């Protein structure tokens, strides 16, 4: 996808670029920077300059508010999302994207986890699909096609107001018949029941390709935690998968515990990364927490009828035996398929999302 887009960058297209932000809430031509001074979020700062300057660069989301950030008619694709949601609780700011006229969101994720930053703390990321830049700048480069309509919302589940800066850049034009709809699904289990696999994704019906994984993994035991294998059950697989990995760090393109000289080594690359290693501080931060991403950009997992994705949580116990772990695990699964989402597992409650 990304290489094809790069190859075509020099080709002249009939598509047209539009962009939605607080300075142009509809994306319509010639409507940017027109907010009257008295209505702007930055009206005090701009009071000596007036309309046409930096009058309305952000929106304020009230507690409990579910705000429409973009409502686009026609066919096209989102090309870039940039936002910085202030210093709020990123687990309780819920990003949703709806394709065409579907009442069910195809993307429903806490905003931090969607941008591969699930522990409520900033971590720099340099990858093809997602970049996190200083300070707290969230960038997404997944291509997101739509054929009739696109709607983007943000729900503020926190108890305070949140200042949201954002820009959604998109193209209007013909969408290829073979283009799938982008999806992202969040899950969290804390703690994982003993001897139970963690489910990243289930219930996907249709044809498509799995393109990415983000995991926020909090360990509840001492010792190494990543012996578990990821499994892709597709197209009628039941007890045994078609695609099976060899270990958690292997799936995230590392090896041997992400360790050199007795230390975990964070890294960020175009396709994979261990971007967060949050270590105990000797008092109230008692457990180690990890953030990892793996983008299947050049190696998508293609399926014809259905897909289920699981991963084992395994450590070690006495006698050189595997230990099934009961860890705090959250994830986002990213995929394309031939239809907008028809059904979705309910998002966990506010208390179930809380990072403690």
Alpha-carbon 59 to chain mean position? 21
pLDDT of residue 9: 81
pLDDT of residue 6: 59
- Is 168 in contact with 78 (CB distance < 8 Å)? yes
**Model confidence over 131-187: pLDDT tens digits?**
999 989 999 999 999 999 999 999 999 999 999 999 999 999 999 999 999 999 999
Structure tokens given for 348: 């966990």
Q: CB count, 10 Å around CB of 298?
A: 11
Close Cβ partners of 120 (under 8 Å, ≥ 6 residues apart):
89, 90, 91, 112, 355
Q: What is the pTM for the complete model shown?
A: 0.95
The residue written with tokens 């578990």 in the block is 228
Element (H, E) at 67: strand 66-73
- The architecture (CATH level 2) of 2-22+58-353 comes to Sandwich (2.60)
Domain boundaries, the chain: 2-22+58-353
**Model confidence over 327-337: pLDDT tens digits?**
999 999 999 99
Rounded-to-integer distance, Cα 213 and Cα 334, Å: 6
pLDDT of residue 7: 67
pLDDT < 50 stretches in the chain: 1-3
Rounded-to-integer distance, Cα 150 and Cα 134, Å: 29
């Amino acid at each position: 996808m990304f290489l094809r887009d790069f190859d075509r960058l020099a080709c002249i297209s009939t598509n047209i670029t539009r962009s939605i932000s607080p300075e142009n809430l509809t994306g319509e031509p010639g409507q940017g920077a027109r907010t009257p001074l008295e209505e702007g979020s930055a009206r005090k700062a701009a009071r000596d300059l007036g309309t046409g300057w930096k009058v309305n660069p952000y929106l304020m989301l009230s507690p409990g508010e579910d705000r429409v950030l973009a409502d686009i008619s026609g066919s096209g694709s989102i090309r870039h999302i940039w936002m910085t949601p202030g210093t709020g609780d990123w687990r309780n700011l819920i990003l949703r994207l709806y394709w065409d006229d579907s009442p069910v969101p195809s993307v429903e994720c806490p905003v931090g986890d969607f941008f591969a930053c699930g522990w409520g703390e900033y971590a720099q990321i340099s990858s093809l699909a997602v970049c996190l830049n200083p300070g707290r700048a969230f960038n997404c480069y997944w291509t997101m096609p739509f054929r009739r309509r696109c709607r983007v919302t943000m729900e503020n589940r926190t108890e305070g107001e949140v200042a949201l800066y954002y820009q959604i850049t998109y193209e209007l034009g013909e969408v290829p018949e073979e283009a799938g709809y982008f999806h992202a699904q969040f899950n969290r289990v804390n703690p994982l029941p003993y001897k139970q696999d963690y489910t990243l994704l289930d219930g996907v019906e249709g044809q498509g390709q799995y393109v990415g994984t983000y995991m926020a993994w909090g360990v509840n035991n001492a010792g190494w935690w990543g012996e578990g294998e990821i499994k892709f059950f597709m197209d009628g697989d039941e007890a045994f998968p078609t695609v099976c990995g060899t270990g958690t760090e292997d799936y995230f393109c590392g090896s041997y515990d992400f360790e050199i000289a007795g230390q975990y080594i964070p890294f960020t690359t175009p396709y994979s990364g261990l971007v967060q290693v949050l270590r105990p501080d000797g008092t109230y931060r008692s457990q180690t927490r990890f953030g990892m991403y793996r983008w299947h950009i050049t190696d998508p997992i293609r399926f014809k009828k259905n897909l289920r994705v699981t991963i084992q949580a395994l450590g070690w116990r006495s006698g050189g035996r595997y230990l099934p772990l009961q860890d705090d695990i959250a994830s986002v699964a990213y995929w394309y398929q031939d239809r907008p989402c028809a059904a979705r597992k309910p998002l966990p409650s506010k208390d179930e999302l809380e990072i403690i």
